[in-house]
Amino acid sequence: MHTHTFSHKSIRNIVGAVAVLSLSLFAWYHFAPTHGTGVVTYNTQRDREFILNEFKQNMYCLVSEKVSFSPEHMLDTRSSSQRAEDFENAGIYVYCEAGVPVGFLVIHPTREASRILFLEIAQEHRKKGYGRKLMNFAVDKLRREGYAYTDIATRIENIPAQTLYRSLGAFEIDRYDGFLSMRLYL
């Protein structure tokens, strides 16, 4: 019978390797993006400050002046509405690059359709494809959930957003209060 003996140095190397592997798996489990796309579900600790800052910098682009809206309320209740029956309905997703939020998307489902309420990419990260990645995520998710279409609104002067939505097949259905409403069949 052949027996193996390990030296203290060998044991330390094995323990060290196991520790590194354990930390790597822990980091991957807690910080890896879902679907391999960089899109993750909203996390209060990681994303709240980023999203509130984006609303602070871009409220005009994101929300009509005629609407009473609180981004804090939306993040706290997962709803853009003040109605309690809508709480926890909105899906909030963030695109992270190297663990840092660079954009976000909010989807509000209804019985018949869904509405993409917000798609925002931080100014310094625009023109890098993050908006398209978030939209592709939304389209895939909504298709899997059985929706036939989603509606999207953007400021009439936001040509880059309209260009993105049109490239995915969206078309204009209405104009109101400085916004262009579009529909995207899924």
pTM higher than the cut 0.85: no
pLDDT of the residue at 112: 77
Render pLDDT for 25-81 as a digit per residue (tens, 0 to 9).
444 444 444 433 499 999 999 999 999 999 888 876 777 666 678 888 889 888 776
Separation of alpha carbons 140 and 120, rounded Å: 18
Mean of the per-residue pLDDT values for the chain? 82
Burial category of 118 from C-beta neighbours within 10 Å (exposed 0-12, middle 13-18, buried 19 and up): buried
**Domains (ranges, CATH) in the chain?**
33-185 (3.40.630.30)
Lowest-confidence region among 54-58, 160-164, 168-172: 54-58
Q: Give one word for 17, left, alpha or beta, with left for phi > 0 and alpha for psi -120 to 50.
A: alpha
